[in-house]
Structure 1
Amino acid sequence: MNKYLISTLLLLGMAGSAGACNTEYNITLQTFGEGVLVELRSGSPGNSRVVQSRRSNGGAVNFGNLCPGSYFLAIGNDDSVNVTQTRYFEADAIYTGSIVMQRGSGNVSNKSRKSL
């Protein structure tokens, strides 16, 4: 009986945590060319991991099934990438953003992919 109860509770716990990872992040990206690699990273620069990565396609980049937490983007095909500010995502939400890549300074920083 105890084994059945523990198994049931474990499955319910797993189902509850899986259900919370349903946030979406949809980005319109204007950059210098198509096929630019966009990494969605959890954590903060210097202490992060890649959660999902996509290549830009017609300017649209979409990430789904995200759990609540802090995320930022690393954008670029080389070792040197543009990095956005860290943003906290809630559960059950849809976030949208528009990023315009331009030469010179802006609201993104430039970092080595290895340092992320």
Structure 2
Amino acid sequence: MISLKLQIILLVGSVICLVLLINFIRKYRLELKYSMLWFVVTIFSILLSIFPKMLNVISNLMGIELPVNALFLLTFFGLIVIILSLTLELSKSTMKVKELSQEIGILKYEMNKVKDQFEKEKKEV
């Protein structure tokens, strides 16, 4: 069983995270597609703090003796999943930036060629 103190800390922390998450989305500082995983983690934390016996069932299923250890393990795995998803998004963004910078380089090269041709034709006339 989770102690009442830990239960309250978990509930307060989860509610604060949920409020911050909603505020970030509302102020357009965080896109909705990136926040869905955070919503799942936060709602799961709120459910665990309200129904602590659910953690006993989860820890028994996982074969972990103390429910608090299961809580820490689940938190660790949740953070790993979030870090992995953010790393994938960062990788996609890096690829897009690379492609866009290459396209800009090509466009600058073509613009300089057209500018040089225009200046040559202008001198000939």
Q: With the length of structure 2 as denominator, give the TM-score of the two structures.
A: 0.23
Q: Which has the higher contact order (CA 8 A, sep 6+)?
A: 1
For the pair shown, which has the larger CA radius of gyration, 1 or 2? Answer: 2
Q: With the length of structure 1 as denominator, give the TM-score of the two structures.
A: 0.25
Greater fraction of residues in helix: 2
